Structure 1
């Protein structure tokens, strides 16, 4: 007959299914009248830069190691970014 075939169902866990269908982006709407809170340089470094520059991951010049930065400094601001 044409009953249910063995193996036709999903063997994925609920977590795997949720991961597969999760949104690829998100949107945060902010109040344009809210006071601006600026981050310090240290806060920006920790949030954005430290992941690579603290350990030298993927060849990133390490923070505090002048020799790692020497070639890039001569390229100016754009070379450092």
Structure 2
């Protein structure tokens, strides 16, 4: 299985993270900190391989999605 990494820290992005981004099945690492992302945190339902998720320093609204309990490979949040 190929690892799929996305590092988008401090790169000036803003707006909502597209919901389709959360369905990347081979997503292993997502570093999306210190931008100006808004809206709700997406449900990472399809990302069962997700090990590392870092999204602090943004302007998200609402609670952490309950679907995060299904991220069985997550070791860093």
TM-score in terms of structure 2 length: 0.20
TM-score (norm 1): 0.19
Structure with more of its chain in strand, by fraction: 2
Structure number with higher helix proportion: 1
Identify the structure with bigger relative contact order (alpha carbons < 8 Å, sequence gap 6+): 2
